[in-house]
Structure 1
């Protein structure tokens, strides 16, 4: 009855226990995934001037236009440390550094490139809008010295009046094509003898130029030609697409966001969840599930629970022998074993002695008893007990 009471006294049913375990495992897995991929998920909420930003200063709109037009477009988060591998990723790499960057940080990425590089200079600084995540407020023009630090040799100038310039293109852009971007505030242009103009306004100012020493480096002075702010009109979207389409040479386009603080950090846990290590992770997960299933499922009938204290004569004898061994008094049992041997023969001492002489046995029971009582350790006791047992078998003619 006590066993039945123990089996039925659980606080949870099996279904409730399994449900709690599943909820805990799924919750932990969700927490782990969100922790690992949280930087990637929050990247789109960063309202800076980069390809993941949907703010007025970002370039997410241009990325969407290129993808909709069938242009292979990607976003690089490897950073300058992997510039050599990144150099082969696309035919055109678009760099959109922020105001805190200088040319020294860009040089490794530009020199490692085999394909074209488009450097888009910054123009605006703004604050995050606390009421609208991903938005900016209070945009202000950057100082010209801050922008000029991104050029190896050259300066940046800026007009003060808002204009809607009519731009003239040169190869590799569609030659002599007139482009009409959206209205612009403070048009930025490049000054320097080391730059060849590719896109100029009616006053001859260079908005897009090619570096003469680094033939694969193109510099766009005014980001309003490509950012979301410049895509607010159809003509502005056409201008942005024409610039990228002309520079990519029919190849793929890649936007770098590592210069904007969005470089992907190496994470062993993320590596375990992405190919090629994802296969090993799935195998370990399957092995864990099989182990849990094996532990939860009972194979064969339940083994009866053993009593805390064994019962019966055998258990009593085992316990007594254990106590004797613990007290190191086993060798003191020789005399009692000799008395037991005599009792098992069923003869009194006189009859035992007569039969021994009749059978011609050398040792008497008394001699064997004295040897057993004189044992000083377990080995001597076992040897004496073996002699007593053999003597009884010879005396009674028992089968061996």
Structure 2
């Protein structure tokens, strides 16, 4: 029996839960679409999302303040930009992969490759008390300790005209070395230096006092297809010119903007910093995939279903109805359910033998017999009802019956014996 009762939640509570869920869902879609799914970029490595000394977040921020359209890309599609692309490959990078990318960029737009240099490790937040007392500032996320510098040897494996040999050295005094180029002069922040050997297919842009090439532009051989048609590629061999460590010097910041102005198209101020080479790349995110055919149809159906469910929930008339149990309690209901199951399955033959045994026990009780033996029941009935058909004959007729009407007539014949004994 159904009963009505008031809802345990008020309409305001339900509305608040629905609104909270909708806001949370929209926020989830935003973070998925933005590529921010929990993996932070400030991991102490040399890329545009890192705030460490070896990172380039300061370079990206500087260009943004200078009015450039800066994009820090975590998607492989960002490599196909027609604007300026800045690559920061890690140490021991695959030269073939970079060569393939640079050759593809010849038809897209200019490219800057900032080579790796430093071996760095993140500073742990829990330092010994003595060390903390000696430090004047609080350690922040992404800060690193520079453990050493080394020039990458994979640049020589790049194909012509990109390939060159890079070398590293460290000054004994440990003081930074002076650099000069593009009408500017400055000083490197450390005594560790990485430079490239001169080549006739490269144009030196920045050099130190000893003539070591710190940044170069790839020109190619004069008259070649690259020289005539390809977009420029520029290598910053010494990353301290542009990383957070070096940008503490004003002259290095001026050099950073000068390099960008030199290599980019005059009418395109778009600059993309790629993070896919540093392990932050991925395919199309779930949000983009959900709104792309053939998944778009399923997404629209899901949104429509959510709207229908919401409309149905708020347009329901009256409080929720408390439904009773599907199967009622009690012997009568149990018998009715069992009979209904047999009736639905049309297994009437299963009733005959149990009914014969049931009637034998009941006649045994009426006749005062010790046990429900069929022969003893026939003998007792012969004295009480000598004119009636014996019990065994009626029981055999019930067992042989197959159709419902035959089973019913035979069962009534057995029950007739009990009824006559009661009278």
TM-score by length of 2: 0.59
Deviates more, 1:160-169 or 1:256-265: 160-169
Matches within 5 A, 1:261-272: 261-272=279-290
1: CA distance between counterparts of 2:191 and 2:319?
Answer: 84
Residue matched to 1:380: none
Q: 1:233 aligns with which of 224, 249, 265?
A: 249
Deviation by residue 1:173-224 (Cα, 9 ceiling, x = unmatched):
xxxx133144333221111424221222222211111223355221111011
Structure 2 stretches of 5 or more lacking a match?
126-139, 221-225, 327-339, 349-423
Residue matched to 2:113: 119
- 1:52/1:60 contact within 8 Å kept: yes
2: CA distance between counterparts of 1:21 and 1:73?
Answer: 39
Alignment coverage as a number of residue pairs: 302
Q: 1:159 aligns with which of 157, 169, 191?
A: 169
- 1:43/1:262 contact within 8 Å kept: no
Q: 1:189 aligns with which of 195, 215, 235?
A: 195
Q: 2:216 aligns with which of 195, 209, 213?
A: 209
- 2:84/2:110 contact within 8 Å kept: yes
Residue matched to 2:395: none
Query: How far 1:33 moved relative to its partner?
Result: 4.8
Query: How far 1:268 moved relative to its partner?
Result: 3.1
Residue matched to 1:178: 184
Cα distance, 1:183–1:31 mapped onto 2, change above 3 Å: closer
Query: How far 1:32 moved relative to its partner?
Result: 5.1
- 2:72/2:272 contact within 8 Å kept: yes
Residue matched to 2:86: 94
Deviation by residue 1:142-190 (Cα, 9 ceiling, x = unmatched):
2553665568532112231132413122xxxxxxx13314433322111
2: CA distance between counterparts of 1:137 and 1:290?
Answer: 57
Query: How far 1:64 moved relative to its partner?
Result: 1.0
Matches within 5 A, 1:333-344: none
Residue matched to 1:383: none
> Does 1:135 find its partner at 2:135?
no
Q: 1:48 aligns with which of 39, 45, 48?
A: 45
Residue 217 of structure 2 aligns to a residue whose secondary structure is strand
Residue 208 of structure 1 aligns to a residue whose secondary structure is strand
> Does 1:294 find its partner at 2:312?
yes
Matches within 5 A, 1:1-400: 6-8=3-5, 12-15=8-11, 18=14, 22=18, 25=21, 29=25, 33=29, 36=32, 39=36, 41-79=38-76, 82=77, 86-87=79-80, 89-113=81-105, 114=107, 115-131=109-125, 132-145=140-153, 153-161=163-171, 162-169=175-182, 177-193=183-199, 194-213=201-220, 214-215=226-227, 216-250=232-266, 251=268, 252-272=270-290, 284-285=302-303, 287-298=305-316
Higher radius of gyration, 1 or 2: 1
Residue matched to 2:378: none
Residue 73 of structure 1 aligns to a residue whose secondary structure is strand
Kindly indicate whether structure 1 or structure 2 has the higher relative contact order, using CA contacts under 8 Å at least 6 residues apart.
Answer: 2
TM-score by length of 1: 0.62
Query: How far 1:230 moved relative to its partner?
Result: 0.8
Deviates more, 1:112-121 or 1:179-188: 179-188
1: CA distance between counterparts of 2:155 and 2:100?
Answer: 19
Deviation by residue 1:57-107 (Cα, 9 ceiling, x = unmatched):
11111111111111222223333xx5xx744x2432111100031221111
2: CA distance between counterparts of 1:284 and 1:13?
Answer: 27
Query: How far 1:229 moved relative to its partner?
Result: 0.8
Q: Tell me the C-alpha RMSD between the 2 structures.
A: 4.4
2: CA distance between counterparts of 1:286 and 1:260?
Answer: 40
